Each structure stands twice: as C-alpha cells, then as structure tokens.
Structure 1
Amino acid sequence: MTEDQWPSEEQSAVADDDVAGVRATPVSRIDTQQAVEALPGLVRLAATSWLRTAEWGVVAGMRTGRRVLKAATNPQTAVEVAQGMAAASGVIADLAKALSHGTPVPEAVIQVSSSLRQAPEEKPRETREQRTQRTLRQQGEALLARSRDVWNTEQGHPAYARILDEMAPDEGRILLLLLKGGPQPTVDVRTGGVIGMASSTLIAPGLNMIGPRAGVRYLEQVPSYLNNLFRLGLIWFSREQLRDPLEYQVVEAQPDVLAAMHTVRSAKVVRRSIHLTPFGEDFCRTCLVAEDEDLSALPEHQAPHDLD
C-alpha cells in the first residue's frame, strides 16, 4: 500500500466513529496486513510439520509392530520392549511433574533431557563361575521341586536319553546278552610257574566270548565297547569267577587265549567275570526290552564291590 492510498484523518475518524469509535493507526494496519501475508507461510510450515509427524508415526508404528511380533517369540526382545516402555513412561512422568510445579515447558524439557543423558549406574558383571553356580542352584531347586510334586509321573532316569546317544548298536546287543544270559566269563593270561608265583606279569587281559555270543557286527571293537559301557556305569569288571566252572571251558579253548599262553614258557589263566550294575539292569529293562516281555526270571548279577 502506498502513501497515496492512506485515508485522510477525517476519513479515519468517520470510519472509527461508524465501526468502533476507536482511532486506528497506520501501525495497526501494517501489523494486520503482515499477519495476513504471513498466513500462507504458516500454513506451509504447519502442513510440513504435520506430514513429518505423520511419517514418523507410521514408521515408528511399523517398527514397534515388528518389535512386538519379535517379542512374542524372543524373550530377550520382550525384555527390551518392556524396558523401553518403562523408560518412556518414566520420562513422561518426570515431564508432567516438572510442569505441575510451574516450570516452563522449555526448561522442563531441558531438565528431562539432561537427566536422560546421565549414564546409568553400571552393575558389577557376573563371572563365569558365578553364573555357573547360580544356574546349578536353580537346577537343583527345580529338581527338588519335582521331587515334592506328588503328581510327577516321570519314569526312567533322565540320563538314559544321553546314554543312548553315546552307545553303538553293538553295545546294545552286549547289554541284552548280559541281561538275559547273565554274567559273562572272562579270563586273564599271566605268566606262571615258580617265577609267576612270586611276580606274575599280565600277558593278555579280559579275553572273552561276549562278541560272538551277542552277535556283534565288529568283533575287533568288543574291548572298546566294554570300556564305553563301563564308562557309562552300565557294567563292571569283577575279580570273582562265576560259580559254574564250565562257563570258562569254551573261553579257554579260544584261539586268542591259546596264542597268548604259547607266548611264554609257563602261563596261567586267571578267571574273572563281567556283570551289569544295578543302574545298567534298570537301563536295560527301561530302554532295551519290550513292555510286555516277562522279566521275572532274569539271571542275577553281583553288585559292584571291587572295581580295580
């Protein structure tokens, strides 16, 4: 607006008297005109802010949805989401508290922001030994809780599944032989004669007929099979011989026994035996025989009493 377009004082006075009776100054007219001209810019600024806010809301919603879906299947993500929600609610509560005490909005925002920037107090990290001890204690508490549960119907030792994974098929055949055929004879070949009475040397230990009698596939692996079954606590090696001496006649006539005896001028045979442990008997009854099979007439095994 140019100076030529300004109304005269008389025209202004007439207009003022007609409208409100208040004299309007050129300054008020300039402020009004500038505000009107600034409206399009304010509208653009408001529209841009709204679009950015909407875009942020959509992206944040999608991210939050993905985190919620992930939290449904991942316990660690669920904990992180819960911690984030708790932190956000704490920030809102701190801001509301500051505003309720009369703190201006900008100052309240600065105070809350400064409190967020403070590093949280770090907790001492657990050592591996402490974690192991805590885990073992938790497992022990769970075990005792199951022992007090009168409705617990667990059958079989929990180690049976692990033992089955650590056994060869031939070892299962050996266990069935011991379960149904009873303790098995085994012999050691040692030096004998007059010298052997004072100091006997072991020539061939633990010779037996377990492999052929059990029908194993790999006969040369029988010593390893027996060592593994002993390691698992299923069998044990007794120094005592079986009551029936006829059990040893077939073993002592085997080629490997005769070959070991012919390696020295004078040799002797020491008779021993192999038994199932009580743990091994229960393992065989639980895992290796059918449920409807009659197990009442099975041979007896000695309990371990000398393992050296």
Structure 2
Amino acid sequence: MRIAANAGLSTAQWVVTTSVRTGARVARGLAAGESPMKIAGDLGADLRAAARSVLGVPDEEPAHAASLAEPRAHGASLAELRARGAELLRQSSDVRFVEDTHPAYERILGELTPDEARIIRFLYREGPQPTVDVRTNRPLGIGSELIEAGLSMIGRQAGVRNMSRTNAYLNNLFRLGLVWFSREEVEPSRYQVVEVQPEVQEAMSRAGRAPKTVRRSIHLTPFGEDFCQTCLPLDT
C-alpha cells in the first residue's frame, strides 16, 4: 500500500507538472506563430521523455537512433554507400586502375533466359530489325485503336524455342538496357516480309477495313553491344 501510494503521488505530481508545462509550451508556440503540427510534434517528444523518466525506463539506445537517422538500402548504410562511391571516384582518377568488365554483366547473365541470349546475339550479328504496330484506320488518325504492337520476325529468325514469349523477352532486354525501341524505320523493303507473317495478317483482319501499320525498329544499345562482345560466343 505504501509503494502504491508513493507511486500514485509521483504520478499525480508528474501529471500536474506536465500539464502546466504543456499549456505553457502551447501558449508560447501560438504566440510565436509556430504551426500546430510542429507544436504537437515537440509536445509528443517531451511527453515521451517525461514518461520514461517517471517510469524509470532508459532512453532509446544510441544504435536505434543511429539506424533511424541513417537509412539502410540493400543492407548497406548511407556511410558505406558514400564510401563506395568515393572509392569509385578514386579509381577513376588512378591511371593504373584497369577495369576488365562492367560489374553489372554478371548480374545480367543471371537475369537472361536462353532465348533472350539468342535474340541479342542475333541483333548483334544482323543489326536493327523491323517491327510493326497494327492499328485501326480512322480519318486523320483520330480515334485510331492499337490492335497489336511490336510484331516482328526477331523470335523466328533468332531461333527461340518459345515464339509466343518473344515480346516478353524483348521487354526484359529493354529493362536490362540491352535493346531499345526506335520510332525510326529501317529499309522499307524489309517491312514487306514482316507484314505478310501470319500473326500480322491476323491482327490486320481484326483491325477491320483498311488497317494501318506503323513501322518501327529494334536496336541493340551500345551497352548491349559491349555486353555481347564480352559475354557471348559470337562465332558459333
């Protein structure tokens, strides 16, 4: 009973003292023109500190506070990331440093399917390839609807096993920075072969009367060319 009475008295004293301090803090903040959000934030921190003092709870651990102040990304702290960045800049100014391959190539190899490897080797050997979009034909192009996009012979010519996934393969290669989709055309005669393919003809039949084809192309990026030269056997 004595312990409970002492605890109740301490709590009552803390409530009175804290209430007086809180009221004074609000009055000073409003008089100084501070925003209510800032005042509320400061009061919350003060109340937590006071409650820990009354209950005998130690302050937050420094390590925890440090983790809040210094966010971690992919397991590395901000200081570690900056140290690695500084090391890269140091190596860039060191004439004796030799970089054999791009550090991303190993990761990219793990994110490619065998079919995708065949596609980028084909693009490296044969150069940019024609693709077509099939759209409905409307006067002045107003209200034209896209029926199929990115139809090509790349999968067939590269010899992929799963032809239906060709566009998905190309999207992944684009994500990895190995290919890019251009609005520019290649030689006009090359589109004639693409436009008579079964999948293009089927899309054109769905487009209705007088369908429209939009000619585009797919290229390897300079990064993709270097990747092929470094990682793929090109003479087999």
TM-score range, shorter chain: 0.5 to 0.7
Matched residues in 2 for 1:128 and 1:161: separation? Answer: 33
Q: What is the 5 A alignment of 1:215-294? A: 215-242=159-186, 244-263=187-206, 264-289=208-233
Question: Which SS does the other structure have where 2:115 is aligned?
Answer: helix
Identify the range of structure 1 (250-259 vs 262-271) with the bigger mean alpha-carbon deviation.
262-271
What is the identity percentage for the equivalent residue pairs of Structure 1 and Structure 2? 55
Match of 1:167 among 112, 132, 137: 112
* Aligned CA distance change for structure 1 residues 288 and 265 (closer, same or farther; 3 Å): same
Matched residues in 1 for 2:223 and 2:129: separation? Answer: 18
Q: Shift of the alpha carbon at 1:129?
A: 5.8
TM-score by length of 1: 0.52
Q: Shift of the alpha carbon at 1:157?
A: 1.0
- CA offset digits 1:111-132 (Å, max 9, x no partner): xxxxxxxxxxx74542156152
Count the aligned residue pairs.
Answer: 169
Matched residues in 1 for 2:68 and 2:82: separation? Answer: 14
Where does residue 200 of structure 1 map in the other structure? 144
Q: Work out whether residues 138 and 144 of structure 2, in 8 Å CA contact, stay in contact via their aligned partners in 1.
A: no
Matched residues in 2 for 1:187 and 1:267: separation? Answer: 12
Matched residues in 2 for 1:262 and 1:182: separation? Answer: 30
Matched residues in 2 for 1:285 and 1:147: separation? Answer: 23
Match of 2:87 among 139, 142, 145: 142
Where does residue 19 of structure 1 map in the other structure? none
Q: Work out whether residues 233 and 280 of structure 1, in 8 Å CA contact, stay in contact via their aligned partners in 2.
A: yes
Instruction: Give the letter for the 1:255 counterpart.
Output: P
Q: Work out whether residues 189 and 203 of structure 1, in 8 Å CA contact, stay in contact via their aligned partners in 2.
A: yes
Are residues 1:212 and 2:152 paired?
no
Matched residues in 2 for 1:289 and 1:282: separation? Answer: 12
- CA offset digits 1:50-97 (Å, max 9, x no partner): xxxxxxxxxxxxxxxxxxxxxxxxxxxxxxxxxxxxxxxxxxxxxxxx
* Aligned CA distance change for structure 1 residues 266 and 193 (closer, same or farther; 3 Å): farther
Q: What is the 5 A alignment of 1:1-308? A: 123-125=62-64, 126-127=66-67, 130=70, 131=72, 132-194=77-139, 197-242=141-186, 244-263=187-206, 264-289=208-233
Question: Which SS does the other structure have where 2:151 is aligned?
Answer: strand
Structure (1 or 2) with the larger CA radius of gyration: 1
TM-score by length of 2: 0.67
Matched residues in 2 for 1:210 and 1:228: separation? Answer: 15
Instruction: Give the letter for the 2:87 counterpart.
Output: A
Unaligned segments of structure 2, at least 5 residues: 1-60
Instruction: Give the letter for the 2:131 counterpart.
Output: T
Q: Which has the higher contact order (CA 8 A, sep 6+)?
A: 2
Q: Shift of the alpha carbon at 1:289?
A: 3.3
Cα RMSD over matched residues? 2.0
* Aligned CA distance change for structure 1 residues 156 and 129 (closer, same or farther; 3 Å): farther
Question: Which SS does the other structure have where 1:155 is aligned?
Answer: coil
Matched residues in 2 for 1:136 and 1:230: separation? Answer: 27
Matched residues in 1 for 2:194 and 2:132: separation? Answer: 8
* Aligned CA distance change for structure 1 residues 270 and 128 (closer, same or farther; 3 Å): same
